[in-house]
């Protein structure tokens, strides 16, 4: 993710809006896909290992030292990957839509700070909920953010939109600075 962060600091959204969006999306999705693939492969290897050990013990054979992965296991890995991906996207989308609906129905326009907090907390909630059920928090938060930007943003007051944008940009700037300092020190 540091390669994307480095490039995005040079390509500002003010001058290169589309290129910035494409690079940001690629960086986020690339890392998340790698994590999901790792989870799917790791789960399948563990299940295959347990299955092979149980088979060997039940037949009185020596326990194998290596796990063999065949076409069946590879297919199960891809199925697990697509299940994790689609469920993560769906969870983020549902929470993004729920937040958008709540902002429209409850009309918090009288208090821009509450509107900003609701949006930020729903984005974080999508991450936490996904991680709690062993899905991808990154993908869930990314899809939630897409729905929040498309729907919730327009259900907020003008002050809330400005405040939320400033809050997210501030958090982003602080996170980037921390990342550069951390990478520079290690």
pLDDT at site 186: 63
pLDDT tens readout for residues 114-154: 999 999 999 999 999 999 998 989 889 989 999 999 999 88
Q: How confident is the model at residue 64 (pLDDT cuts 50, 70, 90)?
A: low
Q: Specify the range with the lowest mean pLDDT, choosing from 47-61, 71-85, 126-140.
A: 47-61
User: What angle (nearest 5°) sits at the alpha carbon of residue 44, between those of residues 41 and 48?
Assistant: 135
**pLDDT given for residue 30 in this prediction:** 77
Q: Tokens 């409850």 identify what position?
A: 106
Q: Where are the domains of the chain?
A: 2-185
The 3 state secondary structure assigned to 80-122 is: HHHHHHHHHHHHHHHHHHHHHHHHHHHCCCCCHHHHHHHHHHH
Mean pLDDT, the chain, whole residue set: 85
């Amino acid at each position: 993710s540091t390669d994307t962060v480095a490039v995005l600091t040079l390509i500002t959204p003010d001058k290169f809006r589309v290129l910035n969006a494409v690079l940001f999306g690629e960086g986020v999705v690339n890392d998340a896909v790698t994590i999901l693939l790792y989870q799917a492969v790791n789960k399948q290897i563990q299940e295959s290992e347990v299955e092979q050990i149980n088979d060997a013990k039940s037949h009185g054979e020596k326990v194998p030292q290596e796990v063999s992965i065949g076409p069946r296991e590879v297919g199960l890995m891809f199925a697990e990957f697509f299940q994790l991906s689609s469920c993560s996207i769906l969870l983020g989308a549902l929470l993004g839509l729920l937040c958008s609906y709540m902002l429209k129905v409850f009309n918090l326009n009288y208090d821009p700070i509450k509107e900003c907090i609701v949006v930020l907390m729903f984005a974080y909630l999508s991450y936490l909920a996904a991680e709690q059920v062993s899905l991808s928090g990154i993908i869930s938060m990314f899809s939630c953010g897409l729905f929040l930007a498309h729907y919730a943003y327009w259900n907020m007051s003008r002050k809330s939109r400005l405040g939320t944008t400033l809050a997210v940009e501030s958090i982003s700037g602080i996170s980037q600075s921390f990342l550069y300092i951390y990478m520079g020190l290690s």
